[in-house]
Amino acid sequence: MNEAQGIHFGTLSLSGSLLTTWLVMLLLLSFSAFIRHKLQQEDNLWRTGAESLFAMMENAVQEVVPNHYKQVTPFIATLWVYLVCANLLGLIPGLHSPTADLSVTAGLAVIVFVSVHWFGIRNLGLKTYLKHYLSPNPIMLPFHLMSEISRTLALAIRLFGNIMSLEMAILLVLLVAGFLVPVPLMMLHLVEALIQAYIFGVLALLYIGTSLENKTTSSEQGSKNT
């Protein structure tokens, strides 16, 4: 499913990437309801698996933001789960990963951008958080702003480029060599999909951790001044 295979309602157009994104969201919501039902029962395989997976993600977040991991884990875990499903969707014949569309990865990068500042402002307060853009000297403000923009663009382009190139490689080999040869590439797609989902989530976590570190830095500076 690509841009040309979207649905059109007069002047309204729903792209293929948007439809596959909604499909992933619907599947995740349905699976979440199923897991929630299983968690209310006695110990079973589904409950054990879900708790183990969440514990792994929580531990990974705790290593980066040990003092705020309970706040940050739901967001990062949601990113990881969504990206794994979205990246792997391209392995299904007739479907394409929504993350192979730059508009989708750009939207995810914007969500991370907003979340970084939201976590920072939530823990520091607006005035204190904004002060770090003037540290150590007000002349650094343009460079801080450029850094924010460039890393957001890099986050979007990195995921888009890797997933899109993998799908294109599989398609080209499939057209040239037939159905059996692309199997190793599909395995590569599986591994790369997991890696790219992990990297995107870790980068988002590091950006959030950086915004939360400003609280520690501000506290240390305050204690030195006193």
- Nearest alpha-carbon partner for 188 in 207, 168, 203, 216: 168
In terms of pLDDT, which residue wins out, 180 or 185?
185
The answer for residues whose C-beta is within 8 angstroms of residue 124's C-beta and 6 or more apart is 214, 215, 218
Q: What pLDDT score was predicted for residue 203?
A: 95
Q: What pLDDT score was predicted for residue 123?
A: 87
Domain boundaries, the chain: 3-218
pLDDT in tens, 28-39: 999 999 888 888
pLDDT in tens, 105-151: 999 999 999 999 999 998 888 888 888 788 778 888 888 889 899 99
| Average confidence (pLDDT) over 71-91 | 92
**Interhelix angle for 102-124 vs 16-39, to 10°?**
50
13 φ/ψ angles, rounded to the nearest 5 degrees: -130, 130
12 φ/ψ angles, rounded to the nearest 5 degrees: -85, 130
Q: Taking 90 as the threshold, does the pLDDT of residue 58 lie above it?
A: yes
Q: What pLDDT score was predicted for residue 116?
A: 93
Q: Does 66 sit behind a cis peptide bond, omega within 30 degrees of 0 on the bond before it?
A: no
Q: Taking 70 as the threshold, does the pLDDT of residue 218 lie above it?
A: no
Scan for tokens 């596959």, then name that residue.
Answer: 20
At 188, is the pLDDT very low, low, confident or very high (cuts 50, 70, 90)? confident
Q: What pLDDT score was predicted for residue 211?
A: 86
Scan for tokens 């990437």, then name that residue.
Answer: 17
Average pLDDT of the chain, as a whole number: 83
Q: Taking 50 as the threshold, does the pLDDT of residue 27 lie above it?
A: yes
**DSSP letters for the chain:** --GGGSEEETTEEE-HHHHHHHHHHHHHHHHHHHHHHHHTSSS-HHHHHHHHHHHHHHHHHHHH-TTTHHHHHHHHHHHHHHHHHHHHGGGSTT---GGGSHHHHHHHHHHHHHHHHHHHHHHH-HHHHHHGGG-S-GGGHHHHHHHHHHHHHHHHHHHHHHHHHHHHHHHHHHHHH-SSTTHHHHHHHHHHHHHHHHHHHHHHHHHHHHHHHHHHHHHHHHHHH-
Q: What pLDDT score was predicted for residue 151?
A: 92
